[in-house]
Structure 1
Amino acid sequence: MGGAFYLVVLAVVAVAIGVVTTGSWRLGVRWFGGALLFAALVRAVLPAKDAGMLAVRRRWWDCFLLAGTGAALIFLAGSIPDQPL
C-alpha cells in the first residue's frame, strides 16, 4: 500500500520539477512542498510495515523531516521577493 503512495509522491515531485523548469518556480516549489507534506501525512497514518519506501527511520523522525521540509519550501516560495531580471 505504501508503495502506491510513494509513487504518487514521486509523480507529483516530477510534475513539480517540470513546472519549475518551465519558468513558474514558485508554483513548482509549492507543489514539491505539498508532495512532502502529503508524504508526511501518509507516513504518519500507515504502519511501518505498510509504509513502503516512505519508512526510512522511526515514524516520528520521518514525519518531522518531511513536514518540516515541505512547510519550509512552501513558506520560502511565498516569502522570497521578486527580483528584477
Structure 2
Amino acid sequence: MTPPATETERRRRPSTVGGLIYLILVGLTIAGLCLVAFGPWRRGIALVGAAFVVASGSRVLLDEREAGMLRVRSKWFDVTALAGVGIALIVLAANIPDQPGL
C-alpha cells in the first residue's frame, strides 16, 4: 500500500500568478525559437521580444508576494532587464537587413 501524497506532491500548477506568467513566457520563447529555426525568423525573434516586454509589464503590476519566478532581483532591476532585452530583440529583428541567398 502506498502512503498518501503530500500537498507538494499533488500540486501540478504554479502557486503564484508570476509563476504562471513565467511558464507562459517560456512557452512563447520556445514557440519563437521554433519559428526562428523553421519559419520566418524575424517573427520568431519579435515574438520572444514581445514575451519579455509582457513579462516586464507583469512584473510592474504584480506585488512581491505574487511575482513568483519573475522575481529574481529587485523590482526595478527585473523590469529594466526584461524590458531592455525585449525591446532590443524587437528592434534588432526589425532592423537587420535582408541578406539574399540565405
Partner of residue 80, structure 2: 64
- Aligned-pair RMSD on alpha carbons? 0.8
TM-score (ref. length: structure 1): 0.95
- Give the residue type in structure 1 aligned to 2:28: V
Corresponding position: 1:46 with 2:67: no
Q: Distance in 2 between matches of 1:12 and 1:70?
A: 13
Bigger helix fraction: 1
Q: Distance in 2 between matches of 1:53 and 1:26?
A: 27
Q: Spell out the pairing of 1:5-44 with structure 2 (5 A cutoff).
A: 5-44=21-60
Give 3-state SS (helix, strand or coil) of 1:81's partner: coil
- 29-38 vs 2-11, which moves further: 2-11
Q: Distance in 1 between matches of 2:79 and 2:46?
A: 18
Structure 1 runs (4+) deviating above 4 angstroms are none
TM-score (ref. length: structure 2): 0.80
> Which deviations, in whole Å up to 9, do the C-alpha atoms of 1:11-36 show, x marking residues without a partner?
11111011111031100000000000
Q: CA deviation at 1:37?
A: 0.2
> Number of paired residues?
85
Give 3-state SS (helix, strand or coil) of 2:65's partner: helix
> Which deviations, in whole Å up to 9, do the C-alpha atoms of 1:28-78 show, x marking residues without a partner?
000000000011011111011111111001001100010011001100100
Partner of residue 82, structure 1: 98
In our comparison, the structure showing a higher alpha carbon Rg is: 2
Q: Structure 1, unaligned stretches of length 5 or more? A: none
